[in-house]
Amino acid sequence: MGITRRQLLGGAALGAGGAIVGAGAGVAGVNAATPAPPGPTGGDTEPFYGTHQSGIATPVQAHAAFTAFDLDADADRASVARLMRLLSDDAARLMRGEPALADLDEELAHAPSRLTITFGFGPRLFDVIGRADKRPSSCAPLPDFSIDALQERWSGGDLLIQICGDDRVSVAHARRMLWKDTESFATQRWLQQGFLDARGTHEPGTTPRNLMGQVDGTVNPRTPEEFDEVVWSGGPPDWFVGGTMLAIRRIAMDLDTWDAVSRADRENTIGRRLTDGAPLTGDAEFDAPDLAAEGPDGAPVISDFAHIRRAATGGGAPFLRRGYNYDLGQDASGRTDAGHIFTAYAADLDTQFVPVQQTLADLDLLNLWTTPIGSSVFALPPGAPEGGWVGEGLLG
């Protein structure tokens, strides 16, 4: 009698199972001789108090939650000051790995994993507190760009709480605790959550990739001197010295059509190699692109419409980029709902960020696959001294 298909598959499975057991035994022996993996990193902390708020110059973390709030109709300077005292106190505790004052789930606070909590003030807040004259000059909605398809649900806001960390549970717990602090003062306007590579996935200092597969954030300030030059404000106004401006742009990516683009065309769109992020004219990621280089046919090696050429020739000045991916799966039509939460930190958005963004909006190959659907601007106050609170120079 011949062997049936069921018997054949059953035997194959049994054989595969035996092979797996044998392989597992061998691997166990090898692992026993290798060094032990690094210990847990949940206890790692970042400082809350200091000249500048954490979460800006901090090495980028794996998870982020940006929440914008609208102040209640009866809000005034005194109530916003009370709110910022409360938020600052709880943020300092959570970043140390301690529970917030009214925290009933204190175990969730014990592994902060480089948690940072950063606060920002939207343009309208200055009117609410009666200090419009203290609003930084670039704390205003960004200009209308031709590529924008902005949605109200991802734009605006009076108060921003930015929470970043290497553990999503810690970030989620902090967000809930701080949201409870705001309940009597403001209403949540929007929540945007994003992610990057998990900690330990790559070597420290490696530039993360976005969902298009491109390294994202190569051209950034890296030294304290560079941060002083392009990120931290020197005033006016006086209360804002040591603070920075933040533009948050939610950018939808058309990954479904991007999937049909060849690797060569993807690299030409950006002007960088996919493998290592090097410009098409260079050997390594941080090499300066040679915008004058021509190929054998006389055409520019980096296209006239490539993203890095447009960004480099768009005027303005350098600024800090900290971007996070988002992926919400498929929408009702079956299209992929994913993209990028792009953040730009600059001493002055009008002179640094806006000219570059205008050049990209005018003509950039990347615009074929990206659409800005959200836009917000916030003034991020300087840090608080030990025992103080964020925004004290404006609200105190």
Helix axes 77-96, 168-182, angle to 10 degrees: 160
Cα distance between residue 70 and residue 305, in whole Å: 39
Q: Six-digit token pair at 174? A: 């902090």
pLDDT of residue 202: 81
The parent domain of residue 118 ranges over 63-395
Would the pLDDT of 24 be above 90? no
Residue 188 has φ and ψ, to the nearest 5°, of: -65, 130
Which tens digit of pLDDT belongs to each residue from 241-283?
Answer: 999 999 999 999 999 999 999 999 999 999 999 999 999 999 9
pLDDT of residue 203: 81
- Say if residue 5 is exposed, middle or buried (CB neighbours under 10 Å; 0-12, 13-18, 19+): exposed
In a domain, 8, yes or no: no
Which tens digit of pLDDT belongs to each residue from 305-337?
Answer: 999 999 998 888 899 999 999 999 999 999 999
In a domain, 42, yes or no: no
pLDDT of residue 37: 60
- Cβ-proximal residues to 132 (8 Å cutoff; 6+ apart), any chain: 126
In a domain, 102, yes or no: yes
DSSP assigned state of 242: T
Q: SS3 string of 143-185?
A: CCCCCCCCCHHHCCCCEEEEEEECCHHHHHHHHHHHHHHHCCC
Closest CA to 257 of 336, 178, 312: 336
Q: Between residues 37 and 91, which one has the greater pLDDT? A: 91
Model pTM? 0.89
In a domain, 53, yes or no: no
Q: What is the percent of the chain with per-residue pLDDT over 70, rounded to a whole number?
A: 90
pLDDT of residue 185: 98
Say which amino acid occupies 287: D
Work out the mean pLDDT of the chain and round it to a whole number. 91
**Choosing from 148, 181, 216, 348, which is the catalytic residue?**
216
Which tens digit of pLDDT belongs to each residue from 111-136?
Answer: 999 999 999 999 999 999 999 999 99
In a domain, 52, yes or no: no
Which tens digit of pLDDT belongs to each residue from 167-179?
Answer: 999 999 999 999 9
Would the pLDDT of 10 be above 60? no
Cα distance between residue 120 and residue 157, in whole Å: 10
Q: Between residues 32 and 155, which one has the greater pLDDT? A: 155
Would the pLDDT of 92 be above 50? yes
Strand partners, 184: none
In a domain, 6, yes or no: no
Say which amino acid occupies 314: G
Q: What is the percent of the chain with per-residue pLDDT over 90, rounded to a whole number?
A: 86
Instruction: Say whether 348 is catalytic.
Output: no
In a domain, 72, yes or no: yes
Say which amino acid occupies 171: V
Total number of domains in the chain: 1
Phi-psi region of 130 (alpha: psi -120 to 50; beta: other; left: phi over 0): left
In a domain, 27, yes or no: no
pLDDT of residue 327: 98
Which tens digit of pLDDT belongs to each residue from 187-222?
Answer: 999 999 999 999 888 888 789 999 999 999 999 999
Q: Sign (positive/negative) of CA torsion 171, 337, 151, 333?
A: negative
Lowest mean pLDDT among 25-39, 75-89, 120-134, 168-182: 25-39
- Cβ-proximal residues to 354 (8 Å cutoff; 6+ apart), any chain: 138, 142, 143, 316
Cα distance between residue 161 and residue 86, in whole Å: 13
Contact 94, 104 (CB under 8 A): no
pLDDT (average), residues 343-365: 97
pLDDT of residue 220: 94
- Say if residue 240 is exposed, middle or buried (CB neighbours under 10 Å; 0-12, 13-18, 19+): buried
- Cβ-proximal residues to 66 (8 Å cutoff; 6+ apart), any chain: 160, 161, 162, 163, 191, 192, 193, 194, 248, 341
